[in-house]
Amino acid sequence: MITIPETDLVVHPLCLGGNVFGWSADQAQSKSVLDAYSSHGGNFIDTADVYSEWKEGNVGGDSEKIIGSWMKERGNREQIVVATKVSKLSTRPGLSAANILTACEESLNRLQTDYIDLYYSHEDDASVPLEEVFGAYAQLIAQGKVRYIAASNFSSPRLQEALAFSADNSLPSYIAVQDRYNLVAREPFESETAPILAEHSISCIPYFGLARGFLTGKYRPGITVDSVRASGVTEYLNEKGYAVITALDEIAKNHNTTISAIALGWVRANPMVSTPIASARTVDQLNEIIPVIALTPEEVNSLNRIS
């Protein structure tokens, strides 16, 4: 287990992504994955109010409802660290104080809980003054409805501005950043975001740690993958991408583990990362991503060069 910097949140080294719950995984499948994750000591689940609004017939909050139902049935809320988000649901857009406060209440209801451990601004909203945004978060924290706040999908200048504003005005501050980061998508995180995190002693909890499934190894030359996420990996289906897969193959064999575990191990090796996020539609997929592998410096450097 690890402690997320600047918090007392003690979490598993793999954060389970809830974006597939209610989308490519129905309620029964989702709860099976959650049970399997919990059986391995997993306790950190990431979701959002917008998950999975994009599926026909869904209205958003679908993932939160499944997670809330599962925690209620298992009676394990106190053992689970729950992260959710505000600002991207079509019916609750933006970061106005009124929207944050209302969206939080709705998320609490769907999650069947009275507090959220980590509440993200899912995307920036430059139309709202920072004083209003952080004033709303301060209210939620004071009420005990939110423990910590974090930022996702912010530009580096806006992240720096938000962190400085909180410090200068003695307001709650973002304690983590959730951005895309993986072996085949290293920028702009490494050059732009990581230095800001180092300056403020906070960490990244990156999404797409497996590049939408590309880094699981199932995408190979000449192979067609039947997946709702397949269209999202086309940018990686090239010589460089396949070279990364070949390198992962070799290291995975040396560790007697999965390609997914090695790809996530590389993400964890970045000192600015606390724990990567990865999702699983089935228990078999969960078993591929759950091993926590410590790579040698030589292995990390080798993957750095190839990627």
Q: Which residues are catalytic?
A: 51
Sheet bearing 174-178, strands edge to edge: 203-204, 174-178, 146-152, 116-121, 81-86, 44-46, 15-17, 277-279
Can you spell out the DSSP letters for 234-261?
Answer: GGG-SHHHHHHHHHHHHHHHHHTS-HHH
Place of tokens 């990156």: 206
Tell me how far apart the alpha carbons of residues 110 and 69 are, in angstroms, rounded to a whole number.
8
Q: Alpha helices, DSSP H only, in 150-258?
A: 156-168, 194-200, 239-255
Tell me how far apart the alpha carbons of residues 149 and 83 are, in angstroms, rounded to a whole number.
9
Tell me how far apart the alpha carbons of residues 35 and 37 are, in angstroms, rounded to a whole number.
5
Tell me how far apart the alpha carbons of residues 17 and 205 are, in angstroms, rounded to a whole number.
11
Q: Which helix (H) or strand (E) holds 81?
A: strand 81-86
Burial 219-254 (b: 16+ CB within 10 A, else e): beeeeeeeeebbeebeebeeeebeebbebbeebbee
